[in-house]
Chain A
Amino acid sequence: MADQQQGKRSNSRVIAWCMAGVVGMFAFGFALVPLYDVFCDITGINGKTSGRYEAGTGEQVDENRTVTVQFLASNGPGMTWEFRPVVRSVTVHPGEPMTVNFFASNPTDSNMVGQAVPSLSPSEGTLYFHKTECFCFNQQPLEAGESVEMPLVFIVDPELPEHITKLTLSYTLYDQGKPVEVSGPATADTITNNNG
C-alpha cells in the first residue's frame, strides 16, 4: 500500500514535469517569432532592411569605390496599382546620400492604401544599407486615379564588405484595403507601420 502511494505521488510528479515541458515548448514556439525578428535584425539574414537611419555628420565618402544599386518593384497578390522605380539602377560611392523615386498610380475607381515591404539581396549587405527617408516607413494612400512619385533616400555604408559590388533592393507593394476614416490629426500616427 505504501508502495502504491509512492507510485501515485511520483506519477503526478512526472506528469507535472512533463506538462511544464509541454507548456514551456508551446511558449517557446511563440517565442521563436520575436527571437527570429531580433536575430534577423542583428544579422540581416532575411534581407529586411532596418528602419529610419539618422545620418551622422562625419560620414566619409569613399570616392575610390562604386556600388551599383538596382531597384525592383512588384505587386503583392491582388494589388492592382502600377508600381515601378523611376530609374532601374544607380551607381553610388559608399557614404554618399542618394535620392531615387518610385512611381505608383492607382488605376482603380476606389480609394486605396498600399504598403511597400523592402527586401535586400544579397542579405549579407542588409546591415550596410541605410535609408534616411523611405516611402516604406508609412502606408501610402492613393485616391482613385491618383498617382505619386515616392522618394527613397539611402546611404551605402563605407563598411560594406569589399566583395559586394552590387545590391538589389526589391519592394513588394501590398493592398491594405480602403483608407481608414480617422477624424482628427492623428492620421499620420495611426498609419505608421514599423515595416522599416
Chain B
Amino acid sequence: MSAVADTHNQEHHHGPAKGISRWLLTTNHKDIGSMYLIFSFAMFLLGGSMAMVIRAELFQPGLQIVQPEFFNQMTTMHGLIMVFGAVMPAFVGLANWMLPLMIGAPDMALPRMNNWSFWLLPCAFLILVSTLFMEGGAPNFGWTFYAPLSTTYGPPSTTFFIFAIHIMGVSSIMGAINVIATILNLRAPGMTLMKMPLFVWTWLITAFLLIAVMPVLAGAVTMMLMDINFGTSFFDASGGGDPVLFQHVFWFFGHPEVYIMILPAFGAISHIVPAFSRKPLFGYPSMVYATGAIALLSFLVWAHHMFTVGIPLAGQLFFMYATLLIAVPTGVKVFNWVTTMFRGSLSFEAPMLFAVAFIILFSIGGFSGLMLAIAPADFQYHDTYFVVAHFHYVLVPGAIFGIFASAYFWLPKWTGNMYDETLAKTHFWLSFVGMNLAFFPMHFLGLAGMPRRIPDYALQFADFNMVSSIGAFMFGVTQLLFLFIVVKCARGGEKAPAKPWDGAEGLEWTVPSPAPYHTFTTPPEVK
C-alpha cells in the first residue's frame, strides 16, 4: 500500500491539471465522479425547488400562487429532472468514484468516453430547462409524456424536450458501456465475478438494464418526434395508429427504469449495513441472484402501469402475478440485510441511519407497490395520490436515502476529512421526519380519491395536504444542510484514516484518504 502512496507523492506532474481545463478535459474517474455528483445535487435542488412550488400551491385548496398551466409544467419538470438529472447521474457518479477503487482498477476502461458522457448531461438539461422560457411553456404532460397529450396537444417546446431526452439517453448508454467494460476487463487479478463487491454487481446488472431499455425510450421519443413533425401516425388513431401503443413502449422502458434507479442503492446498502453491524453480509450469493432475478422480471411486468386501459383478463392476471413475484427476490434482499444486522455490534453513524431508514421505508413503498399490483384494486388507486405516495416512498427513502448513505459512507475517502457527525445526524432526522410527514398523508389522500397532477382539490383533502406541504418544506430546506455538511467536510475537519469505519471491507479502504489522484496503477492481488 505504501508503494501506491509513494508513487503519488513523487510524481506531481501526474496530478490534476490546473484551472477550468482540468474539469473540461479530465479523463480521471475521480474528477468525473465528483462532477457527476455535483451536477446531480444541483439538479436535485432545482427539481426540489419545483416540488416546493407544487407543495406551496397545494398548501390550501383553491388557486393561490400559480396557474394550472404552470403547475402542470412544474409536475412534469420535477419528475423529469429528478429521474434523469438527480437520481441517475448520482449513481453514475458513485460508480465512477467507487467502481475502479472497489475492483482495483487504475481508472474506468474508457476514460475519454467517460468525459464525453458527463459533459452531454449539462447540455441536455440546459435544453430541457430552457423550455421553461419558451413560448407556450415547458412540457406540461407529466413525466410519462403519454401520447396524444405530448403529441397532438403538447406545447411547441416538446421537440426540444425530445432532443434533450435523446442526449440524456446517449449519455446513459455510454456510461453503461463504460461500466460494463470496466467491470469485465479491469478487475484485479484474483477477483472472480462471485468475489466482486455487491455495489459492483448491482451496477453491472443496472448497466445491462440501461443498454436494454434506454434505446427503447429513444425509439418512443423518436416516434413522437415523427408524429409531431413529419406527419406519421404511430400514436394517432386518425391515421391508423394507437395511443395505447405509446403506453406499452413507454412502460417497456419505464419499468426497468425504476430498477435502474434502485439497484445501485441496493448495492451500496449491502456495503453499509455489514460495515456498521461488524459482520459480513448475510447471503452474498442470494443477493447476487436476487438482483439478477429482479432485473429479469422487470421486463415482464410493464403493463401493471396500465391496467385501466382495457387489458383482457388473462393479461391482467399475468401482469399481476408477475409483479407480485418481484416481491420474492426483493424480500430475500430485505431479509438478508435484517439478518446481517441480527446480533451484530451495531452502531448508528449517519450512513447506517440512512441505511436502516432505507430498509424500513423502502419496504413500506414496496408494500404499497404490492397493493397497486393487485389488478382489481388498482382501478381504485390508479392516478390518485396513492400512486404518488408509493413511488415517492421507493424513490426518496429508496434511491435518495441510498445516495445520502453512500455519500456519508465514502465522503472521508473522497475528501480525506471526517464529516460533522452531529450535523449529519441532524440532517438525517430532519429528512426522515420531513419525508414521512410529506409523503405518508398522501396514502390517505389517494385512498380518499384525490387525483394526482391537479393544482386544486376538494375541501375534505385540505388538512392532509397542509401537513404534507409542511413536511415537504421541512425536507426541502434540510437538503441545504446537506450541502453545508459536504462543503464543510471538503474544506477541512478531522483527518480521516485510510479506513475510517472499523467494520468496513473492500479494496477502497486500502488506499489512503483522500484517495490519491491515481490509484492502483499496479493492480492489487485479491485472495
Query: Which residues of chain A have a CB within 8 Å of any CB of chain B?
Result: 7, 10-11, 14-15, 18-19, 21-26, 28-30, 32-33, 36, 40, 43, 45-48, 76-77, 115, 117, 121, 123-124, 172, 174-176, 193-195
Contact status A25-B110, CB under 8 Å? no
State the 5 A-B residue pairs at the shortest beta-carbon distance, nearest first: A29-B219, A174-B238, A26-B215, A25-B215, A29-B216
Contact status A18-B176, CB under 8 Å? yes
- CB-CB under 8 A from A121, the residues of chain B are 310
Q: Which B residues from 188 to 240 make CB contacts under 8 A with A? A: 211-220, 223, 234, 237-238, 240
Q: Looking at chain B's contact residues, is the secondary structure mostly helix, strand, loop, or mixed?
A: helix
Min CB gap A168→B, angstroms: 12
Q: Total contacts A to B, CB within 8 angstroms? A: 99
Q: Could you give, for residues 241-257 of chain B, a 1 whenever the CB lies within 8 Å of some chain A CB and a 0 otherwise?
A: 01011001100100000
B interface residues, tally (CB under 8 Å): 36
- CB-CB under 8 A from B252, the residues of chain A are 29, 32
- CB-CB under 8 A from B220, the residues of chain A are 29
Given A117-B238, A174-B238, the answer on whether A14 and B216 have CB atoms closer than 8 Å is no
- Jot down 14 A-B pairs with beta carbons below 8 A, ordered by A: A7-B185, A11-B109, A18-B211, A22-B214, A24-B215, A25-B212, A26-B216, A28-B219, A30-B223, A36-B242, A43-B312, A46-B244, A48-B242, A115-B238
Given A28-B216, A29-B215, the answer on whether A176 and B109 have CB atoms closer than 8 Å is no
- CB-CB under 8 A from B110, the residues of chain A are 11, 15
**Residue from B176, B181, B315 with most neighbouring chain A CB atoms (10 Å):** B181
Q: Which B residues from 360 to 409 make CB contacts under 8 A with A? A: none
Contact status A10-B185, CB under 8 Å? yes
Partner of A14, one of B180, B213, B217: B180
Q: Looking at chain A's contact residues, is the secondary structure mostly helix, strand, loop, or mixed?
A: helix
B25 contacts chain A at the CB level, 8 A cutoff: no
The CA-CA distance from A45 to B248 in the complex, in Å, is 13
Contact status A26-B185, CB under 8 Å? no
Min CB gap A51→B, angstroms: 12
B184 contacts chain A at the CB level, 8 A cutoff: yes
4 additional A-B pairs beyond A117-B238, A117-B240, A123-B312, beta carbons within 8 Å, are A28-B216, A30-B223, A45-B315, A172-B237
- CB-CB under 8 A from B173, the residues of chain A are 18, 22
Residue of B nearest to A30 (CB): B219
Min CB gap B185→A, angstroms: 5
- CB-CB under 8 A from A48, the residues of chain B are 242
Given A11-B109, A15-B181, A36-B248, the answer on whether A193 and B216 have CB atoms closer than 8 Å is no
Q: Could you give, for residues 105-147 of chain B, a 1 whenever the CB lies within 8 Å of some chain A CB and a 0 otherwise?
A: 0000110000000000000000000000000000000000000
Partner of B218, one of A29, A115, A117, A174: A29
Min CB gap A112→B, angstroms: 13
Partner of B211, one of A25, A117, A176, A194: A25
Contact status B181-A11, CB under 8 Å? yes
- CB-CB under 8 A from A47, the residues of chain B are 310
Contact status A26-B211, CB under 8 Å? no
The CA-CA distance from A14 to B207 in the complex, in Å, is 13
- CB-CB under 8 A from B214, the residues of chain A are 22, 25
The CA-CA distance from A118 to B211 in the complex, in Å, is 38
The CA-CA distance from A124 to B217 in the complex, in Å, is 30
The CA-CA distance from A121 to B310 in the complex, in Å, is 9
Contact status B245-A33, CB under 8 Å? yes
- CB-CB under 8 A from B184, the residues of chain A are 10, 14
